[in-house]
Amino acid sequence: MTLAPPPSSRVQLTEDGKLRHFLSVEHLPRSLLEDILDTAASFVDVGGRAIKKVPLLRGKTVVNLFFESSTRTRSTFELAAKRLSADVLNLDIAKSATSKGETLLDTLRNLEAMAADMFVVRHGDSGAAHFIAEHVCPQVAIINGGDGRHAHPTQGMLDMLTIRRHKGSFENLSVAIVGDILHSRVARSNMLALKTLGCPDIRVIAPKTLLPVGIEQYGVKVYTDMTTGLKDVDVVIMLRLQRERMAGGLLPSEGEFYRLFGLTTARLAGAKPDAIVMHPGPINRGVEIESAVADGNQSVILNQVTYGIAVRMAVLSMAMSGQTAQRQFEQEKAQ
């Protein structure tokens, strides 16, 4: 499938600026990102309750459309939807759609005709979720669960929630993102979200071969050395080495990568004493991060997972509510 490039339009928002699809943190105003974080914060407590369920999406149908397999991301969305009392349908589209020769667009329109309310889309191609939201099923609320190298906006927002809950605000923070920036939709979503939320010092640390062309446009400082890059930062976001996505030649070896860019206890000592360590998971122990750091008391990696459920609950419920409002608005206009 060849897809149109992600548009810069307001496709994500209703006419009065509410979230309707969640495709990318790009082009979303600071107030909306803060709204997502506030809503998510209210859901963090739900996970600790005896009855971890709220009726916000009762009677709604959420379809997990995974064109790219990811048990982990699918599970978090499934749990988030179920805790909102939605009905969940898991579809492995890669297998089902092609086996009978149906086109992707026909598959999606069929699901829309079954009165699905929301698609969580995971796709290997950049822009897939945008394309579906704009051109295929605009009546269905679309949540981007990761598209190619483009975006992974719920991961971005759960990282922001983690930072806010541990550091209070973004205004005086230094945040370093370390590793395979080039292939990382997480890095892209994080840089954009940090910028919008007012973080004054965003750093990326990577070997030159793993930096995208034009990285400066994100308003970040680029480092190719860990010691200088990590100096006095408040937050270290380690990226997963995307071995499965790399065609050979960009890296000498895993050992070499770890020697130069792995987060060790010694290197972390250069950051602020209360710096937190984050990672989107799953972690490669001894490849991008030392076990002692991953399991150490500066690590908030498992907190990220907890906040991930809360952020997904927030985004699902907000987009559902915005999509419903938009439909009513359009129906009234049509009358």
Q: Which residues bind a copy of itself (CB under 8 A)?
A: 47-53, 58-61, 69, 71-72, 75-76, 78-79, 82-83, 87, 89, 91-92, 95-96, 99-103, 106-107, 109-115, 243-244, 281-285, 302-303, 305-306, 308-309, 324
Residue among 264 and 303 whose Cβ is closer to a copy of itself: 303
* Residue 270: C-alpha distances to residues 32, 89, 278 (Å): 34, 47, 16
Query: Strands across the sheet with 276-278, in order?
Result: 221-223, 201-205, 174-178, 235-238, 276-278
State the nearest-atom distance from the C-beta of 71 to a copy of itself, in Å: 3
State the nearest-atom distance from the C-beta of 217 to a copy of itself, in Å: 30
Length of the chain: 335
Instruction: For residue 26, give the 3-state DSSP assignment.
Output: coil
Which tokens belong to 270? 């250069």
Closest CA to 267 of 242, 239, 238, 301: 238
Residue among 28 and 238 whose Cβ is closer to a copy of itself: 238
Query: What DSSP string runs through 81-109?
Result: HHHTT-EEEEE-HHHHHHHTT--HHHHHH
Residue among 50 and 213 whose Cβ is closer to a copy of itself: 50
Round to whole Å and give the CA distance between 62 and 118.
Answer: 5
Round to whole Å and give the CA distance between 161 and 41.
Answer: 8
State the nearest-atom distance from the C-beta of 60 to a copy of itself, in Å: 7
State the nearest-atom distance from the C-beta of 101 to a copy of itself, in Å: 6
Residue among 124 and 281 whose Cβ is closer to a copy of itself: 281
Residue among 250 and 325 whose Cβ is closer to a copy of itself: 325
Closest CA to 314 of 193, 165, 157: 157
State the nearest-atom distance from the C-beta of 62 to a copy of itself, in Å: 11
Q: Peptide bond preceding 282: is omega within 30 degrees of 0, i.e. cis?
A: yes
Instruction: For residue 276, give the 3-state DSSP assignment.
Output: strand
Residue among 28 and 160 whose Cβ is closer to a copy of itself: 160
State the nearest-atom distance from the C-beta of 303 to a copy of itself, in Å: 7
* Residue 231: C-alpha distances to residues 205, 208, 234, 235 (Å): 11, 19, 9, 11
Largest interatomic CA distance in the chain: 67
Beta bridge partners of 235: 175, 276
Residue among 101 and 273 whose Cβ is closer to a copy of itself: 101
State the nearest-atom distance from the C-beta of 239 to a copy of itself, in Å: 14
Residue among 111 and 176 whose Cβ is closer to a copy of itself: 111
Residue among 182 and 301 whose Cβ is closer to a copy of itself: 301
State the nearest-atom distance from the C-beta of 108 to a copy of itself, in Å: 11
Q: Which residues fall within 8 angstroms of residue 316, CB to CB, at 6 or more apart?
A: 57, 62, 77, 80, 81, 84, 86, 118, 143
Answer yes or no: are the C-beta atoms of 6 and 14 closer than 8 Å: no
Q: Which residues fall within 8 angstroms of residue 34, CB to CB, at 6 or more apart?
A: 197
State the nearest-atom distance from the C-beta of 154 to a copy of itself, in Å: 14
